[in-house]
Amino acid sequence: MNTVGHLINGQIVTDAARVQDIYNPATGTASKQVALASKATVEDAIAAAQAAFPAWRNTPAIKRARVMFRFKELLEQNADRICEMIGEEHGKISHDAAGELQRGIENVEFACGIPELLKGEHSKNVGPNIDSWSEFQPLGVVAGITPFNFPAMVPMWMFPLAIACGNTFILKPSERDPSSTLFIAQLLQEAGLPDGVINVVNGDKEAVDVLLTDERIKAVSFVGSTPIAEYIYTTANANGKRCQALGGAKNHAIIMPDADMDNAVNQLLGAAFGSSGERCMALSVAVAVGDAAADALVAKMSEAMQTLKVGAYSDSSNDFGPVITRQHQQKVVGYIDSAEADGARVVIDGRNPQVAGYEEGFFVGATLIDGVTPAMQSYQEEIFGPVLQVVRVSSMDEAMQLIDDHEYGNGTCIFTRDGEAARYFSDHIQVGMVGINVPLPVPVAYHSFGGWKRSLFGDLHAYGPDGVRFYSKRKTITQRWPSAGVREGVEFSMPTMK
């Protein structure tokens, strides 16, 4: 069996003392293994990144940008291969993998503008013949820890911008589907990056804990589940590091009585079941305002769901694929069981999907559950599967209260024709990313991505303008060149412009 190794100082290294199987979720069989880095291997990567930092920091931003331009071209040239790797290990259908990759490439395009983004701020004559400016300097060695569900896109939320800012980087991808991530890092190396600027260590908690505690790591970006995000944030902070840790979600869509119901159903289908619901922005709860809207939604949704196709990544006519592991499949089925046991009605049941030729795959069919209440475990927790739950409420205020009371605040959406209601909703809702008739309001690369409440620990959102701030530190310089007429005597009071 092939073993996926690490990229350290420009070389592929395999530290195979501990390994873990990588599964093809469509067939349910292990086809490869991934090396799980030891402390010593992670320390090698940190040393390489540390050694590469001084030269990379001094490389002009325009030259750093040129590497990103070449990287973008290589990503586009190798798109089919990357999507194939994503499909094999994640199970995502090729059209969906292509979408993820494109969203990642858009972050590389943003990083290509780094000379403009790092220009800083300048003020002439803040005092007589005194000038002052702020510049944004790189931090040093920074780390990224990423989840399984976007093996190409989420790492590219982090390392292109961090590296363009002049930092060197250590990426710890998900151990469940690491091949596309490693390959992408190799493409960046091939684009002309000096050795040691990008390093990839595959592994688990052992590798992560080194990144969280080693004093040479200056900042950590994390994306994954909330319990781990909280652990990463508190541990990184306790070790003096800057940290942004993005966690889980439970994204609600409000369906107002005046919504264009056919459009809402079409949008919900993709947002609830696309990528098997394994997206942190997946819409997993539909909050219908009034029984008439709820009845219409459930009737139209049930009918539309009959046409959905679940299957392997290689058949692009499929709508979505399997979930990531057998264990996760059982967990998702367990949530459907618990909703039913708690009194909800399973309208469309995906617990036993038939996928011809893939009987051992980790599939769950699209599932619709009506009559869900906030007291149910299936409502309170993130399911991360192709399950849409319907909660019935009697007013928009009640719907908004439900969303505000939930522990997560990643994304949300309202379907309505009423501009006043939509404006009130977007103004007041306690959620970081809001859609108005847009089901997956994932910000584009030149905005920034982040939820509120327990969906994000930290201050700055991921990528875009917040990403530039996260991966740089502000230095403010005040300058005077004493010369005739500006020389001053001794001054003991606090200098002012009074």
In the complex, minimum distance from the CB of residue 161 to ligand NAD, in angstroms, rounded to a whole number: 15
Question: Which residues pair with residue 144 across a beta bridge?
Answer: 171, 221
* Footprint on residues 67-126 left by ligand NAD (CB under 6 A): none
Question: Which residues pair with residue 23 across a beta bridge?
Answer: 30
Q: Is 205 in the site for ligand NAD (CB under 6 A)?
A: yes
CA atoms of 476 and 481, how far apart (whole Å) = 17
Q: Is 162 in the site for ligand NAD (CB under 6 A)?
A: no
Instruction: Describe the chain by its helix, strand, coil percentages, rounded to 5.
Output: 40, 25, 35
Piece of the chain touching ligand NAD by CB under 6 A; list 240-248, 305-313, 314-322, 330-338: 240-248
H or E element that contains 52: helix 39-58
CA atoms of 350 and 389, how far apart (whole Å) = 13
Distances (CA, A) of 363 to 19, 313, 356, 388: 25, 12, 11, 16
Q: Is 158 in the site for ligand NAD (CB under 6 A)?
A: no
Q: Is 247 in the site for ligand NAD (CB under 6 A)?
A: yes
Q: Is 280 in the site for ligand NAD (CB under 6 A)?
A: yes
Contacting residue, 144, 224, 435, 458, with ligand NAD by CB under 6 A: 224
Q: Is 400 in the site for ligand NAD (CB under 6 A)?
A: no
Give the strand pairing for 6-8 and 11-13: antiparallel
Q: Is 143 in the site for ligand NAD (CB under 6 A)?
A: no
Question: How many residues comprise the chain?
Answer: 498
Q: What is the side-by-side order of every strand in the sheet holding 345-348?
A: 345-348, 367-370, 387-393, 283-289, 251-255, 411-415, 433-436
Q: Is 208 in the site for ligand NAD (CB under 6 A)?
A: yes
* Amino acid residing at 442: V
Contacting residue, 49, 184, 219, 249, with ligand NAD by CB under 6 A: 249
Known active-site residue 280: yes
Closer CB to ligand NAD, residue 220 or residue 396?
A: 220
H or E element that contains 369: strand 367-370
CA atoms of 496 and 498, how far apart (whole Å) = 5
Tokens of 37: 């880095």
Closer CB to ligand NAD, residue 278 or residue 370?
A: 278
Piece of the chain touching ligand NAD by CB under 6 A; list 41-49, 246-254, 294-302, 423-431: 246-254
CA atoms of 89 and 374, how far apart (whole Å) = 35
Closer CB to ligand NAD, residue 138 or residue 435?
A: 435
* Footprint on residues 405-464 left by ligand NAD (CB under 6 A): 410, 451, 455
Q: Is 179 in the site for ligand NAD (CB under 6 A)?
A: no
Q: Is 223 in the site for ligand NAD (CB under 6 A)?
A: yes
Q: Is 148 in the site for ligand NAD (CB under 6 A)?
A: yes
CA atoms of 306 and 366, how far apart (whole Å) = 9
Contacting residue, 178, 248, 458, 467, with ligand NAD by CB under 6 A: 248
Piece of the chain touching ligand NAD by CB under 6 A; list 13-21, 245-253, 285-293, 299-307: 245-253
DSSP-assigned letter for residue 476: E
CA atoms of 320 and 308, how far apart (whole Å) = 8
Q: Is 370 in the site for ligand NAD (CB under 6 A)?
A: no
Q: Is 153 in the site for ligand NAD (CB under 6 A)?
A: no
Q: Is 329 in the site for ligand NAD (CB under 6 A)?
A: no
Tokens of 156: 């590219």
Residues near ligand NAD, by CB under 6 A: 145-150, 154, 172, 174-175, 204-205, 208, 223-225, 228, 246-249, 280, 382, 384, 410, 451, 455
